[in-house]
Amino acid sequence: MRFSELAEYYEKLEATSKRLELVDILSKLFKEAKAEEIGKICYLIQGRVAPFFEPVEIGMAESMVAQSIGRAFNKSKDEVIKLYRHKGNMGIAAAQLSTNAKRLTTKALSVTEVFEELAKIAKFSGKGTVEQKVSTLAQVLKSLDSTSVKHVVNIPLGTLRLGIGDPTVLDALSIAKTGDKKLRPMLEGAYNKTSDLGYVAENFFRKGEAGIRSVKLIIGKPIRPALAERLPNAEEAVKRLGGEFAAEPKFDGFRVAVHKNGNKIELFSRNLEDMTHAFPDLVEGAVKEVKAKTAILEGEAIAYNPVTEEFLPFQETTKRRRKYKIEEMAKQLPLVLFAFDLLYLNGKDITEKPYWQRRKLLESIIHSDNKVVRLAQERTLHTAQEITKFFNEEISEGLEGLMLKKLNSPYVAGGRGFHWIKFKRSQAGELTDSVDCVLLGVYSGRGKRTEFGVGGLLVGIYDAKRDEFVTISRVGTGLTDEEFRKVKVISDKLQVAKKPARVNSKIEPSFWVEPKVVLEIYADEITRSPIHTAGWDSSTGSGFALRFPRLVKFREADKRPEDATTVSEIMKMYKDQFKKKH
Ligand code: ATP
């Protein structure tokens, strides 16, 4: 496929404000793609040249890109920047310069050629990098038509905002080959194991359904995490879990998946970011202490004081997530990883094995005298009284609560299920859990808040069935001045001109933002509301809303927007709050 054809699709995708149209346009695009291109196209439509979890960044700031544009179309960098300021968008400025430049021909570069050049730019390092990047991009731009120029420019800048979610891509892949969505669940299963859309798409296009089925866990590709359900009380949990079940402390740190291949360790966060460089102490611990040639295990990392044997609160642990002074922080606040599951061992995907067998295997590779990678403590329980007792013990130790696990359940990647049930400490009268919302829009400030530029937020949750973000609340109180300022910084970066295609709303904030940042919000109650679209029920003309919402914390570091609370979770929490009160 020529890149100019892909660029025409970019135009169409950019113009739509409806999710179903995105699926339709994408499926047409995919239909035209060859097997050897489909993976690359999946990355390119998300503005990348690698799956999102690979830290491959093209790494060109505005001024470098402007230099390339100038070089391609015989203008100075300043002239490019001036036009960019006037147009408000670098792609549009570049396209105009490209049209004006008198070129005899443009080479019809293919998608693969453009992809490879961009990937090459990402790999330059060391001396002379800037010049190499600038000249390679200039060469690409010179060889493209102006529509292609408009979109390519946004890729190194990270400003290609087509708003296409992974589930939308999965739907479109199925439709492209079968005419409907029937292969979506199977494609999703393969995606949950590897998190790599391009890889799944290529297997599918090369070998059909057998290609999807052949996708297995791969060391180095993060697995979409299994997540827990909530229940209103211990009695209900016993009913769900059967006569015997496992219980573990719920550590309040952050989830880390450890991929071990001999002495090579890779670490991934809950939102599947590569964190290997951030936690040298965990890397060293995993090399020394995990007794397996190859393994993928999961655990919760928590800052821990080995002398007093105290767990440190989340606010301390989270200091380890910064990107600078890594070694120094590793000494000051060493992490312990409490391993709680094993998914892959010595060359075999063991996710299908029941939990109790995986736990036995985990125990066989993690010794009780380990210092860094330790086993999460586990008890086998039978009754609601035992749950309550264990829960109170853990809370008094400063932990977050309990995780209950079904003994005979496989590891279910990429979703919530009753194989894991979480019980968190919460105050009487409040919901059993906080709600993870996505920032969708901002209301400009009035009165005192004009100073911050932000007066309130419009937040939503994720409708996983529709791959859409739906509104659930306006949040105006409970933010400190500093938090208002932080929202301002975030929204300046993410502001978009019109409502993004995957946002479904009945109300208009002062301006929309790209759905990207997750905020953890506490509320007193979930109520029915005619103005919000979360869980919209047309028979009653109402959705769900949060009563007295207040911000707990920003979760931009460990949750992607699609990891926000979903509509089906809110429906359950809505029902559970009645059970709790009566
Ligand atoms: P939360 O906001 O409660 O952290 P979450 O959406 O990240 O929730 P949940 O499914 O609600 O995920 O809870 C599972 C999380 O709890 C895991 O992602 C993990 O980080 C953490 N956790 C702590 N201790 C355990 C444990 N023993 N077993 C499994 N997960 C644990």
Instruction: List the residue whose alpha carbon is closest to atom 19 of ligand 1.
Output: 255
Tell whether the torsion through CA atoms of 416, 418, 395 and 565 is positive or negative: positive
> Residues 181-232: pLDDT tens digits?
999 999 999 999 999 999 999 999 999 999 999 999 999 999 999 999 988 8
> Residues 393-435: pLDDT tens digits?
887 777 778 999 999 999 999 988 899 999 887 633 445 678 9
User: In terms of DSSP H, where are the helices of 366-508?
Assistant: 384-396, 481-494
Band (pLDDT 50/70/90 cuts) for residue 133 is very high
Q: How far is 545 from 537, CA to CA, in rounded Å?
A: 13
Element (DSSP H or E) covering residue 442: strand 435-443
Q: What is the mean pLDDT of residues 341-345?
A: 98
pLDDT surpassing 50 at residue 149: yes
pLDDT surpassing 90 at residue 452: no
What number does the ligand 1 atom closest to the CA of 434 have?
2
Bigger pLDDT: 96 vs 451: 96
Q: How far is 472 from 544, CA to CA, in rounded Å?
A: 6
pLDDT of residue 448: 62
Helix/strand/coil percentages in the chain, nearest 5: 40, 25, 35
Is 230 a known ligand-binding residue?
no
Centre of ligand 1 from the C-alpha of residue 463, in Å: 20
- Is 411 within 8 Å of 436 (Cβ atoms)? no
pLDDT surpassing 60 at residue 109: yes
pLDDT of residue 427: 37
Give residues with Cβ within 8 angstroms of 183, minimum separation 6.
173, 174, 177, 204, 209, 212
- Is 83 within 8 Å of 66 (Cβ atoms)? no
Band (pLDDT 50/70/90 cuts) for residue 10 is very high
pTM (two decimals): 0.81
pLDDT of residue 464: 93
Closest to 460 (Cα-Cα) out of 498, 413, 516, 501:
516
Centre of ligand 1 from the C-alpha of residue 421, in Å: 10
Beta-strand relationship, 335-345 and 348-349: antiparallel
- The separation between CA 367 and the C-alpha centre of its own chain, rounded to angstroms, equals 32
Q: What is the mean pLDDT of residues 87-109?
A: 83
Hey, which residues are catalytic here?
A: 250
Band (pLDDT 50/70/90 cuts) for residue 520 is very high
Q: How far is 212 from 487, CA to CA, in rounded Å?
A: 41
Q: What percent of the chain has pLDDT over 70?
A: 95
Rounded to 5°, the CA angle 271-276-279 comes to 100
Length of the chain: 582
Centre of ligand 1 from the C-alpha of residue 410, in Å: 17
pLDDT surpassing 90 at residue 49: yes
pLDDT of residue 81: 95
Q: How far is 463 from 557, CA to CA, in rounded Å?
A: 21
Beta-strand relationship, 415-424 and 226-230: parallel
Contacts 24+ apart (CB under 8 A), 481-489: 481/452, 483/551, 483/554, 484/445, 484/449, 484/452, 484/454, 485/452, 486/554, 487/439, 487/442, 487/452, 487/454, 487/457, 488/452, 488/453, 488/454
DSSP state of 564: S
Q: Which residues, in sequence order, are bridge partners of residue 512?
A: 441, 496
Instruction: List the residue whose alpha carbon is closest to atom 22 of ligand 1.
Output: 250
Any atom of ligand 1 within 6 Å of the Cβ of 422? yes
Band (pLDDT 50/70/90 cuts) for residue 523 is confident
- The separation between CA 14 and the C-alpha centre of its own chain, rounded to angstroms, equals 22
Q: How far is 474 from 550, CA to CA, in rounded Å?
A: 10
Q: What percent of the chain has pLDDT over 90?
A: 66
What's the number of CA atoms in the CB half-sphere (13 Å) around residue 514? 16
Is 379 a known ligand-binding residue?
no
What number does the ligand 1 atom closest to the CA of 436 have?
2
- Is 75 within 8 Å of 97 (Cβ atoms)? yes
Tell whether the torsion through CA atoms of 389, 395, 397 and 400 is positive or negative: positive
Q: Which residues, in sequence order, are bridge partners of residue 554?
A: 519
User: In terms of DSSP H, where are the helices of 216-354?
Assistant: 234-241, 280-289, 314-317, 326-332
Any atom of ligand 1 within 6 Å of the Cβ of 569? no
pLDDT of residue 527: 86
Element (DSSP H or E) covering residue 419: strand 415-424
Q: What is the mean pLDDT of residues 360-377?
A: 95
Q: How far is 432 from 402, CA to CA, in rounded Å?
A: 13
pLDDT surpassing 60 at residue 377: yes
Is 291 a known ligand-binding residue?
no
pLDDT surpassing 70 at residue 4: yes
Q: What is the mean pLDDT of residues 274-279?
A: 93
Q: Which residues, in sequence order, are bridge partners of residue 267?
A: 258
pLDDT of residue 137: 96
pLDDT of residue 581: 42
Q: What distances in angstroms separate CA 143 from CA 67, 116, 265, one per listed residue?
A: 16, 14, 41
pLDDT of residue 99: 87
Closest to 427 (Cα-Cα) out of 404, 401, 403:
401
Helix (H), strand (E) counts: the chain: 20, 22
pLDDT of residue 529: 87
> Residues 319-337: pLDDT tens digits?
888 778 888 888 888 999 9
Band (pLDDT 50/70/90 cuts) for residue 499 is very high
Is 300 a known ligand-binding residue?
yes
Reduce the secondary structure of 493-531 to three states and give it as a string: HHEECCCCCCEECCCCCCEEECCCCEEEEECCEEEEECC
pLDDT of residue 426: 62
Mean pLDDT of the chain: 90
> Residues 62-96: pLDDT tens digits?
999 999 999 999 999 999 999 999 998 899 999 99
Output the six-digit token pair for 208: 């059909």
Residue with tokens 């000494």: 331
pLDDT of residue 579: 66
Q: How far is 18 from 23, CA to CA, in rounded Å?
A: 9
User: In terms of DSSP H, where are the helices of 349-403?
Assistant: 355-365, 384-396
Q: What distances in angstroms separate CA 185 from CA 80, 189, 342, 433, 565, one per listed residue?
A: 47, 6, 24, 29, 21
Any atom of ligand 1 within 6 Å of the Cβ of 519? no
pLDDT of residue 429: 41
List, in order of start, the domains of the chain with CATH numbers.
47-157 (1.10.3260.10), 227-431 (3.30.470.30), 435-581 (2.40.50.140)
Task: Encode burial over 319-353: b for 16+ CB neighbours within 10 A, e otherwise.
Answer: ebbeeeeeeebbeebbbbbbbbbbbbbeeebbbeb
Centre of ligand 1 from the C-alpha of residue 174, in Å: 32
pLDDT of residue 316: 83
pLDDT of residue 522: 87
Any atom of ligand 1 within 6 Å of the Cβ of 255? yes
